[in-house]
Amino acid sequence: MKIIGESIVISTSGFTDIKDITQEVKRKVKEANLKEGIVTIFVQGSTGAVTTMEFEPNLCKDMKEILEKLIPSSISYHHEKTWGDDNGSSHLRASLFGPSLTVPISNGNLTLGTWQQIVFIDFDTQPRRREIILKIMGE
């Protein structure tokens, strides 16, 4: 069993900025030279999330619009009273999706569906530099 730690660093604009990180994860998995295993993708921080979706402009718009309906950024949240900030909705959205994703590796490749990409979503209310941690495990 081999365990390899890697990371991906990206800059975001916040406000439900959706970044496709699939190719970068694929590249790191190829470099690990494993035939079978898993890769876990994890974001440090409580206002970002990792998930899969079809990364295309209109679905990205749909995602932003549905999240604004479910967890509006225009209202006040109790969390904001604690720290005096404006990102209560950011924390709630990130918690809904979660900070990590695990994808199987088969024959040296990620086992993603045809229209399935790995995305990082930054829900914070300001631009950020994010480090996404990868743990690639297998043989």
Q: Within 10 A of 11 (CB to CB), how many other CB atoms are there? A: 11
Alpha helices in 4-136 (DSSP H): 22-32, 57-70, 78-83, 88-97
Domain ranges across the chain:
2-138
In tens digits, the chain (139 residues) has pLDDT values of 999 999 999 999 999 999 999 999 999 999 999 999 999 999 999 999 999 999 999 999 999 999 999 999 999 999 998 988 899 999 999 999 999 999 999 999 999 999 999 999 999 999 999 999 999 999 9
pTM of the predicted protein model: 0.96
Which class is 2-138 in CATH? mainly beta
Q: What's the chain's length in residues?
A: 139
Look up residue 30 and give its two tokens. 């190829």
Look up residue 37 and give its DSSP letter. E
Amino acid of residue 65: E
Look up residue 91 and give its DSSP letter. H
